[in-house]
Amino acid sequence: MEPRVPIRLGVNGRQREMAVPARRLLSDALREELHLTGTHVGCEHGVCGACTVLIDGTPARACLTFAVQVEGREVTTVEALAEGGDLHPLQRALGEEHGLQCGFCTPGILMTFAAYLRDHPDPTEDEVRDVLSGNLCRCTGYQSIVAAVLKAAHALRMKAVG
Amino acid sequence: MSEDFTQIGRALPRKEDRRFLLGKGRYLDDIAAGGALHACFVRAPHAHARLQSIDIAEAAALPGVAGVFTGADLAGWTAPLRLAPPIELLQPTEMTTLPIDKVRFMGDPVAVVLAADRYIAEDAAELVRVDYEDLPAVTTIAEALAERAPRVEEGVEGNLVSHQSFASGDVAARRAEAHRVVEARFSLQRHTHAPLETRGCLADWDEGREHLTVHVGTQAPHPYRSQLAARLGLSESQVTVSSPDIGGGFGQKIALYREELAVAALSRHLGRPVRWREDRIENLSAAAHAREATCRTRASVAEDGRILGLELWMEEDFGAYCFYPANYMARVVAMILTGPYRIRDYAYDVKVALTNKCGSGPMRAPMAMASWVMEGTLDAIAHDLCLDPLQVRRINIVRSADLPWRMATGEVLRDVTPAETLEGAVAALDMPAFRARQADARRGGRFLGLGICTVIESTTYGSDFYKSAGIPGSGHEAAWVRIEPSGAVNASVGLMGSGQGYESPLAQAVAEGLGVEAETVTLRMGHTDIAPYGMGSRGGRGATAGGGTLYLCAQKAQARVLEIAAHWLQVNATETLRLRAGRIERRLSGAWQDAGLGLADIARRAYLDPTALPPGIAPGLDVSLTYDPPPMTYSNATHACEVEVDIATGRVTVGRYLVAEDCGTVLNPIVVKGQQQGAVSMGLSGALFEEVIYDPAGQNLSATFADYLIATACETPEITILPMHTPSRHTPAGMKGMAEGGVMGAIGAIANAVNDALLPLGVKIERLPLSPMAIRAQLRARERDPPE
């Protein structure tokens, strides 16, 4: 059997340890080792964006990252977005605007914009579409996702003010 | 729409959303299975080759590998799929579970490795040594139909798997008397469904109970189970099919695929759970393809643009394997081609050929091409006669006074409003303003275009449709509604959604029929031990067949509830009672009043105090019903699309896009709008970018998302829906169905718009996709070879 490499990393604010083969993808390690199945695998070649997670706060494709590369880093997945049972404003807006259908691309879109709106609180529609172009959705036609992101941006700004 | 509905038509949020937003959806790969083996398939690198030998020794010896199996092994445990419905000029086809003698396309699975994890399984797959003897491949329909072409399937002579023709009226006489005869040509490229979640399954054979459980994302769980049991030689009692949440299907998740059958057979053989998840390359190259067809039309027309007669020649490239009768999809295109236009004299000739490419199947709007071909023909007529394309539509369109309209093929349009949606779209567009802008832009060297496409969408596919099409099978649906002792309402139906969001709209159909709030109804779908035997989700039958059956079943349940209530309240006739929001109401002097009883009271008596029930009423509140919808129901819509073509780069930018739509009674406007926008954007993505490309040797050149291009948020326009719904009088609650027509309309509208833009340049696009390269190639050819 393949040799395993012990690694330590932070996942959703908790320190985790695991021993994985060096070639194990981060997406597989999250899903199979840690049972965080909210991170979806859609293409395994970095195009569809369904597996997007945050590594030290920056969006990254978990399918193009080896688990051993995140030794000592902090990984955030979709499971961490809702706080204490309260949906994140992005989650709420996607639901309200019908910005999801089959739901398979949704976690990647949530993580992409959780980071983007943190850094760009007041984006234009064109900017949102540009960022969203890194995530494929086969169901919605995107316009409801764009509307949801703009709505969430507004809600987050209000929250920051209030 | 009926004013009386309280649940149908509500903008109820989707019940699925919470779990999906939290990352708590449960898709196939999220189901844990201790000790499961992982399957990986060895796939042919050749389009057509004889299998000389397969050496599994090195692969089987790799630590962690549980076994390597070939087509010969699987033939011992599974029956082949033979398709031989009694359809005229349809040649029978047959395939084994995995190929034994030869491979028929690049990606054909020739062996399967089972290992402790996916990584090891992939390592071992690379160690399987297969000796191939290359055979000449046919990769285009012209090659397939050429004389002495190599045969894709030995039993299919000339590769012509289906040839159908039809004539009504006298098209030759119409041609002779016509003012003009206008010909047009349409070539739709090969597509693939590309759901974000690829195919996969988890099979678990319970040796003690001799029972197989298969978790698989399938749109049609019961027909899938029937197929699976039959091919494994098991009874339907020995197989449970359970569908988890599905990350998109679009028609790709209906058939029982060879990989899934192999995995199920191997779980049984080894007595262990086996799971399989294909990767994206496999999904794009070896799951299922769709659509590749060319149509030629010849319209005989009067001076004013009236169509006197229409002829169609269609050729479809079906790929190497038939999971469906090969005539099925092309037949629907030919059957509904004349759509909402008054054309009495019509003839078609439709050929379907096998080629050495991935097998084809239905993809969201299997009849997608029909609207483009008809509406493109109308534009060709307008161009040829120098008439306004809108005028040509107006003079030919079926109006309400013509209804019911019997198409030349015998299909009947009832309760449709194509003239109304056409005028609705035209009014919203402001055509004169657009034409002025277009003329202005042209003076400035910019090329704007406008395309219109009216769609007639076939939805219900009742059993009579299948019978008259000669296809074995049924179009019925089945449902149950159970009021539990506490008054909780559960319901089930044979459909299985693949992301549309069935749970709220179908709960609304139940709630309306029963008389409760939709929030209190829970739908249980996708599990063959729970759901009744229905025909599943495909086409536009979800609302009409599924929702309709649930609505009727819930009405039957309400009648039972009211019988018990009438006896309880000592009322003679149930007509003076109704159930509303879970409360029994009684009509007294014309006004409905609460009768002091709730559904929970009735349920408690029905289950726990049955001796208090009226004579003749059995205990419990468990109602089931089957329903066969009309052979066909049609909804309709008119699409309008504005584009700008950059003639320097060939780039098409979609500006306004609107759809005037009549899909009858709407169960849930949120879901209907989402389906319409999703369908339109899928159609636009296909028309603009997507293309499965094979080289002349049959090598697939488009097996990644960097090559098979799907539109992103930057290329997809805002889509405006103008609801113009009118109820059907022939379906439960007046529903007509939708969710495929958007694809049909989008392909036609954008192709017509691009051609409108290019008209002054003398360029006409007859082949999709409308990619920058394709448009530039045509413009360059025109520059090199200008018209006289």
Roughly how many angstroms between the first and final C-alpha of chain B, as a whole number?
57
State mean pLDDT over B196-216.
Answer: 98
DSSP B284: I
Q: How far is Cα A99 from Cα A106, in angstroms, rounded to an integer?
A: 9
Which pairing describes strands B345-353 and B307-317: parallel, antiparallel, or unpaired? parallel
- Contacts of residue B381, Cβ cutoff 8 Å, sequence gap at least 6: B180, B182, B299, B301, B305, B307, B387, B392
Minimal Cα–Cα distance from A160 to chain B, Å? 23
B24 touches chain A (CB under 8 A): yes
Spatial distance between the Cα atoms of B687 and B689, rounded to a whole number of angstroms: 6
By CB atoms closer than 10 A (0-12, 13-18, 19+), residue B154 is: exposed
Given an 8 Å threshold on Cβ–Cβ distance, is B23 in contact with A38? Answer: yes
Mutation target vs B (from A45, A102, A129; most B CBs, 10 A cutoff): A102
Contact criterion met (CB below 8 Å) for B263 and B23: no
Partner-chain residue, chosen from B23, B32, B705, that has the shortest CB–CB distance to A48: B705
Q: How many CA atoms lie within 13 A of A78 on its CB side?
A: 33
Cβ pair B196:A145 closer than 8 A: no
Nearest CA-CA partner of A27 in A84, A70, A56: A70
Instruction: Summarize the confidence of residues A99-121 as an average pLDDT.
Output: 98
b/e map of B430-444 (b: 16 or more CB within 10 Å)? ebeebeeebeeeeee
Mutate to test the interface with B, among A111, A138, A144 (most CBs of B within 10 A): A138
pLDDT above 60: residue B55:
yes
B681 lies within 8 A of chain A by CB? yes
Let me know: does B584 contact B577? Beta carbons within 8 Å.
yes
Q: Taking residues B573-583, report their average pLDDT.
A: 95
ipTM above 0.95, yes or no: yes
Instruction: Please report which confidence band the pLDDT of residue B469 belongs to, taking 50, 70 and 90 as the band edges.
Output: confident
Position B683 scores a pLDDT of 98
**Interchain pair A98, B14: CB under 8 A:** yes
Q: Are B405 and B213 in contact (CB under 8 A)?
A: no
**Alpha helix segments (H runs only) across B76-220:** 118-125, 141-145, 171-177
CA-CA-CA-CA torsion sign (B328, B329, B332, B333): negative
Contact of B730 with chain A, judged by CB distance below 8 Å, is answered with no
- Facing A139 at nearest CB: one of B499, B670, B705: B499
* pLDDT over 70, % of chain B: 99
Question: Does residue B788 register a pLDDT over 70?
Answer: no
Which of B14, B20, B284, B504 best probes binding to A when mutated, by most A CB atoms within 10 angstroms? B20
Q: Do A103 and B680 touch (CB under 8 A)?
A: no
* B710-743 CB burial, b ≥16 within 10 A, e <16: bbbbebbbbbebbbbbbbbebbbbbbbbbbbbbb
Average pLDDT of span B233-259: 98
The span from the CA of B257 to the CA of B217, in Å, is: 12
CA–centroid distance for B467 within its chain? 20
Cβ of residue B462 closer than 8 Å to a chain A Cβ: no
Q: Do A37 and B247 touch (CB under 8 A)?
A: no
Answer whether B677 sits within 8 Å of A143, measured CB to CB.
Answer: yes
Which amino acid is residue B661, in one-letter code?
E
Across B679-690, average pLDDT: 98
Judged by average pLDDT, the poorest of B2-11, B324-333, B483-492, B657-666 is B2-11
Q: Please name which of B149, B124, B128 lies closest in space to residue B44, comparing C-alpha atoms.
A: B128
Q: Is A1 exposed, middle or buried (0-12, 13-18, 19+ CB in 10 A)?
A: exposed
From chain B, pick out residues whose CB is under 8 angstroms from the CB of A104: 25, 27, 195-197, 247-248, 499
Is A111 near chain B, with CB under 8 Å?
A: no
DSSP tag of B190: P
Nearest by CB to B63, from A1, A31, A37: name it.
A1
pLDDT one-digit tens code per residue, A28-75: 999 999 999 999 999 999 999 999 999 999 999 999 999 999 999 999
B chain contacts of residue A102, beta-carbon cutoff 8 Å: 195-197, 245-248, 498-499
| Separation CA B380–CA B310 (nearest Å) | 13
* Contacts with B35 from chain A: Cβ below 8 Å: none
Note whether B313 and B292 are within 8 A (CB). Answer: no
B721, B677 Cβ separation under 8 angstroms: yes
Q: Do A40 and B196 touch (CB under 8 A)?
A: yes
* Joined tokens for residue A68: 């051993």
Interchain proximity A133–B22, CB inside 8 Å: no
DSSP string, chain A: ---EEEEEEEETTEEEEEEEETT-BHHHIIIIIS--TTS--S-SSSSS-TTEEEETTEEEEGGGSBGGGGTT-EEE-GGGTSBTTBPPHHHHHHHHTT--SS-SSHHHHHHHHHHHHHH-SS--HHHHHHHHTTS--SSS-SHHHHHHHHHHHHHHHHHHH-
Structural contact between residues B24 and B30, judged by C-beta atoms closer than 8 angstroms: no
What's the CA gap between B224 and B611, in Å, rounded? 42
B177 has a chain A CB within 8 A of its CB: no
Q: What is the largest CA-CA distance in chain A?
A: 56
| B59-97 pLDDT per residue, tens | 999 999 999 999 999 999 999 999 998 888 899 999 999
Hey, is the C-beta of B537 within 8 angstroms of any chain A C-beta?
no
Residues in chain A: 162
Q: Are strands B720-723 and B651-662 parallel, antiparallel or unpaired?
A: parallel
Is the model's pLDDT at A24 over the cut of 70? Answer: yes
Q: Which residues contact B12 (CB under 8 A, 6 or more apart)?
A: B504, B505, B507, B508, B518, B519, B668, B670
Determine, for residues B713 and A44 on separate chains, whether the beta-carbon distance falls below 8 Å: no
* Residue B268 DSSP SS3: helix
pLDDT band at B1 (very low <50, low <70, confident <90, very high): very low
pTM above 0.95, yes or no: yes
Q: Is B678 close to A140, i.e. CB distance below 8 A?
A: yes
Residues 6 or more apart in contact with residue B483 via CB below 8 angstroms: B489, B514, B557, B561, B599, B602, B603, B606, B621, B622
Residues 117-146 of A with CB under 8 A from B: 128-130, 132-146
Task: State the smallest CA–CA distance between residue B249 and chain A in angstroms.
Answer: 9
Q: Which of A142, A145, A149, A150 should one mutate to test binding to chain B, selecting the residue with the greatest count of B CBs within 10 A? A: A142
Q: Which two tokens stand for residue B105?
A: 């396309």
Interface of A with B in 8-37 (CB under 8 A): 21, 23-24, 28, 31, 35-37
Q: B23, A21: Cβ pair inside 8 Å?
A: no
- CA-only gyration radius of chain A, Å: 16
Phi, psi of B102 (to 5 degrees): -150, 160
Q: Do B21 and A100 touch (CB under 8 A)?
A: yes
Residues in chain A closer than 8 A to B716 (CB atoms):
141-143
Cis peptide leading into B244, omega within 30 of 0? no
Residue of A nearest to B669 (CA): A98
**Which residues are paired to B405 by β-bridges?**
B413
Could you say which of B21, B678, B710 has the minimum Cβ distance to residue A101?
A: B678
Residue B76's SS3 state is coil
List the beta strands (DSSP E) in B84-179: 93-95, 102-103, 109-115, 129-134, 160-168
Average pLDDT for chain A: 97
* CA-closest candidate to residue B352, choices B388, B401, B316: B316
pLDDT of residue B714: 97
A1 near B CB under 8 A: yes
Please check the confidence at residue B172 and state whether its pLDDT lies above 70. yes
Strands (E), B218-328: 239-242, 274-277, 289-290, 293-301, 307-317
The pLDDT mean for chain B works out to 96
**Closest-CA residue in chain A for B703?**
A43
> Strand ranges (DSSP E) for B459-599?
477-483, 489-493, 521-524, 577-580, 583-588, 591-598
pLDDT at A115 over 80: yes
Q: Which residue in chain B is spatially nearest to A130 when comparing CA positions?
A: B714
The C-alpha atoms of residue B213 and residue B272 are separated, in whole angstroms, by 11
Which token pair is B161?
């798997």
Query: Residue A77: its chain B contacts at CB < 8 A?
Result: 23
Measured between beta carbons, the chain A residues lying within 8 angstroms of B63 are 1
Which chain B residue is nearest to residue A87, measuring alpha carbons? B22
Q: Please give the residue of chain A at the shortest CA–CA distance from B716.
A: A141
* Record: contact A77-B23, CB cut-off 8 A: yes
> Looking at beta carbons, which residues of chain A come within 8 Å of B22?
38, 78-79, 81-82, 87, 91
Query: Residue B320: pLDDT above 90?
Result: yes
pLDDT score of A44: 95
Tell me the two tokens of residue B677. Answer: 């926008």
Backbone angles phi, psi at B345, to 5 degrees: -105, 115
Instruction: Spell out the long-range contacts of B442-448 with Cβ–Cβ below 8 A and sequence spacing 24 or more.
Output: B442/B760, B446/B644, B447/B644, B447/B645, B447/B646, B447/B647, B447/B757, B447/B758, B447/B760, B447/B761, B448/B642, B448/B643, B448/B644, B448/B655, B448/B757
**Residue of B22, B364, B677 to mutate when probing chain A, most A C-beta within 10 A:** B22
List Cβ neighbours of A66 (8 Å cut-off, separation of 6 or more): A22, A23, A24, A25, A26
- Closest residue in B to A136 (Cα–Cα): B712
Residue in the structure block whose two tokens are 């169901």: A139
B372-429 residue pLDDT tens: 999 999 999 999 999 999 999 999 999 999 999 999 999 999 999 999 999 999 999 9
Q: To the nearest 5 percent, what fractions of chain B are helix, strand and coil? A: 35, 25, 40
pLDDT tens per residue, range B123-165 = 999 999 999 999 999 999 999 999 999 999 999 999 999 999 9
Sequence-ordered list of residues with C-beta below 8 angstroms from that of B360, at least 6 positions apart, any chain: B288, B289, B290, B291, B292, B316, B317, B318, B319, B329
User: Any idea of the CA torsion for B246, B249, B253, B254, to the nearest 10 degrees?
Assistant: 110
Scan residues 115-134 of B and list those with Cβ closer than 8 Å to A.
Answer: 118-119
The owner of tokens 């092994």 is B73
B255 class by beta-carbon count within 10 Å (0-12 exposed, 13-18 middle, 19+ buried): buried
Task: Give dist(CA B660, CA B52) in Å, integer.
Answer: 58
Q: How many Å apart are CA B529 and CA B154, to the nearest integer?
A: 40
Q: Say if CB B517 and CB B542 are below 8 A apart.
A: no
Beta bridge partners of B524: B492
B706 and A144 in contact by Cβ < 8 A?
Answer: no
- Evaluated on CA atoms B386, B390, B393, B399, the torsion sign reads negative
